[in-house]
Amino acid sequence: MTSTSVQETHALGARLGNIVQAGDVIALQGDLGAGKTNFVQGLARGLNIVEDVNSPTFILANEYYSGRLPLFHIDAYRVADAAEAEGFGLDDYLNGDGVTVIEWAERVRGALPRDVLWIEFAYVSENERQLLFTARRAHSLELLEGLKDSVASLSPQPSALSPDATSN
């Protein structure tokens, strides 16, 4: 999928936030400034989170409880590997009653469950980002299909959020 603005990235995140369930794990990867935190802000809006959502780069995790489900926002940028992630309690978030979203998830891949929706953010231009979704297990595939259906129902007009290459 392609996003041509921060607003579109927020909207796509909100669409996913509308359909996620307790226990879902969303793994985000991409360079600095690629839109990962913007996506999480939109996802939080879809969960009806009222707090401002910011990247937890220096504290590793932010927790939000004001929405229909808790949101656990993890930033693994400063985490060396899966063993270090387990040391700060990643398992507690992954096994919690909320939705866990992990930026820089490739750094902790070995600590993640198998059924994860992966989203790779690629910088195309100042305003344009390519988002590649990967789902390989039953629930993450269902989540991806739900997102595709949700995006397809946005509008009959052409949209930058129309699905083009959304799963592997």
Looking at the 3D structure of the chain, how many domains does it have? 1
pLDDT of residue 88: 82
Domain of 93 in residue numbering reads as 2-152
Q: What is the pLDDT along the chain (168 residues), one digit of tens a residue?
A: 999 999 999 999 999 999 999 999 999 999 998 999 999 999 999 999 999 999 887 788 999 999 999 999 999 998 877 778 777 889 999 999 999 999 999 999 999 999 999 999 999 998 899 999 999 999 999 999 999 998 887 654 434 444 444 444
**Pick from 116, 125, 111, 44: which is nearest to 83 by CA?**
111
Domain containing residue 146: CATH number = 3.40.50.300
Question: What is the CB neighbour count within 10 angstroms for residue 7?
Answer: 11
Sheet (strand 61-64) strand order: 2-3, 129-134, 117-123, 25-30, 99-103, 71-75, 61-64
Convert the pLDDT of each residue in 71-118 to its tens digit. 999 999 988 777 787 778 899 999 999 999 999 999 999 999 999 999
Residue 166 lies in a domain: no
Q: How far apart are CA 59 and CA 2, in angstroms?
A: 30
Residue 88 lies in a domain: yes
In angstroms and rounded to an integer, the radius of gyration of the C-alpha atoms of the chain is: 15
Residue 163 lies in a domain: no
